[in-house]
Amino acid sequence: MSKQIQDAYIVAAVRTPVARRNGAFRHVRPDDMLAKVLRDVVAKVPGLDVTEIGDVITGCAMPEAEQGMNVARIGLLLAGLPDGVPGITINRFCASGLQAVADAASRIRLGEADVMIAAGTESMSAMPQIMGNKVSLNPEIFARAENLSIAYGMGLTAEKVAQQWKVSREDQDAFAVESHRRACAAIAAGHFADEILPYAVKSYAPGADGTVRITERVVEHDEGPRPDAAADTLARLKPVFAARGSVTAGNSSQMSDGAAAVLLMSEAALKRYDLKPIARFASFAVAGVPPEVMGIGPVEAIPRALARAGVAMADLGWTELNEAFAAQALAVMRQLEMDPAKVNPLGGAIALGHPLGATGAIRTATLVAAMQRDPGLRYGMISMCIGTGMGAAGVIERV
């Protein structure tokens, strides 16, 4: 176990439902989503002196336009937190939300803060092009062959992983069906009820007599899971990224909108507020891999995070492994010999959606809720691959 001044503990974690891109949150702003989860997470800790919050670290993978201008600071001000509370937006693409949790924990572990909020927010609906509002590549990428893979689309890298790790189309589709099955079962069983706080979406449409018709719809559940997902219908989808490939819209993660927030405290703060924490943030690791096989990133990050936490793979009771693509998730699981039953027990991004920079914080909330439900669950992990070739993993321990 790595040396640290003190431990950081997770006290509360909440999230919005995750909506499909251009779905229920089509007109919802990502800064509003952030403000909502910040209010919600603070409300989970009655009596908290919000002036004690050392920083609000927010992950966002495309921090521009509606989620630009340091969305963390804007979101916390919109949430009504005091002017004295600072905010910072960080970006490690798909690991941004997890990185936020890790960075918030680090500040506590270093003794620089007693109360921290980590968050993530992302609206993929707000982005007309999924690579951001303005795409501009460096000519140097194309000047040298070894740089070319920087330009690869994520789907193409998933094809490369499928090829190199020999993941068949059938396995990918079956994995996707299982993701939907687990997610639908989890919704039916109410397993997301503790982490999701319903979102009241207001919509403003032209109404009769020149008035604007304002309606409100409360969204309570994740929008992505499909109860009718079946192998034969998935088998009919055409590969999108390679003419003779295996990666389809059906066995890839969904583009989504969503946000989450996690409140962390030092032991001293816990004592002061007389709070019982849910989990201890045990370790975090991030590592690079070749960009053309970015999906394999967790294979490098997970062993490091486990080693730092002093935990064996077998000790993990629950892993939230982001399903960017079935191809890479399966390759990672096989390479690390992970137990499929313990990976994404409630389904993953193929069913639940993947709002890029928010996903890490969202899945932290899912893992924290699972620990609250199950006293027998001791160690859990959140991990994901990261565009341009990285992996991240964070381990938490139920206390």
- Are 230 and 334 in contact by the 8 Å Cβ rule? The answer is no
Q: Which is nearer to other proteins, 149 or 344 (CB)?
A: 149
235 touches other proteins (CB under 8 A)? no
Cα–Cα distance measured from residue 220 to residue 173, given in angstroms and rounded to the nearest whole number? 28
307 touches other proteins (CB under 8 A)? no
Site for other proteins in 129-148 (CB under 8 A): 134-139, 141-142, 148
- Please give the radius of gyration of the chain, using alpha carbons only, rounded to the nearest integer: 20
Distance of closest approach, residue 148 Cβ to other proteins, in angstroms: 6
312 touches other proteins (CB under 8 A)? no
249 touches other proteins (CB under 8 A)? no
- Are 60 and 91 in contact by the 8 Å Cβ rule? The answer is yes
180 counts as catalytic: no
Residue from 50, 65, 156, 307 binding other proteins (CB under 8 A): 156
94 counts as catalytic: yes
Distance of closest approach, residue 135 Cβ to other proteins, in angstroms: 6
3-state secondary structure of 192: coil
Q: Which is nearer to other proteins, 136 or 211 (CB)?
A: 136
Q: Using CA of residue 335, residue 326, residue 227, residue 186, what is the dihedral sign?
A: positive
Site for other proteins in 175-214 (CB under 8 A): none
Q: Where is 108: in which H helix or E strand?
A: helix 96-109
Instruction: Measure the CA angle with vertex 265, ends 310 and 258; round to 5°.
Output: 90
Cα–Cα distance measured from residue 115 to residue 44, given in angstroms and rounded to the nearest whole number? 14
66 touches other proteins (CB under 8 A)? no
Q: Which is nearer to other proteins, 50 or 156 (CB)?
A: 156
| Residues near other proteins (CB under 8 A), total | 19
Q: Nearest CA to 286 among 262, 261, 303? A: 303
Cα–Cα distance measured from residue 398 to residue 367, given in angstroms and rounded to the nearest whole number? 10
Residue from 151, 235, 249, 314 binding other proteins (CB under 8 A): 151
Q: Which stretch, 56-64, 236-244, 248-256, 367-375, contacts other proteins (CB under 8 A)?
A: 236-244
Q: Nearest CA to 93 among 308, 357, 350? A: 357
Which of 60, 94, 180, 184 is labelled catalytic?
94
The pair of three-digit structure tokens given for residue 292, joined into one six-digit string: 């053309």
Contacts of 199 (CB under 8 A, 6+ apart): 16, 17, 25, 28, 33, 36, 218, 219
325 touches other proteins (CB under 8 A)? no
354 counts as catalytic: yes
65 touches other proteins (CB under 8 A)? no
Q: Which is nearer to other proteins, 53 or 247 (CB)?
A: 247
241 touches other proteins (CB under 8 A)? yes
What are the residue numbers of the active site?
A: 94, 354, 385
Sites of contact with other proteins (CB under 8 A): 134-139, 141-142, 148, 151-153, 156, 159, 241-245
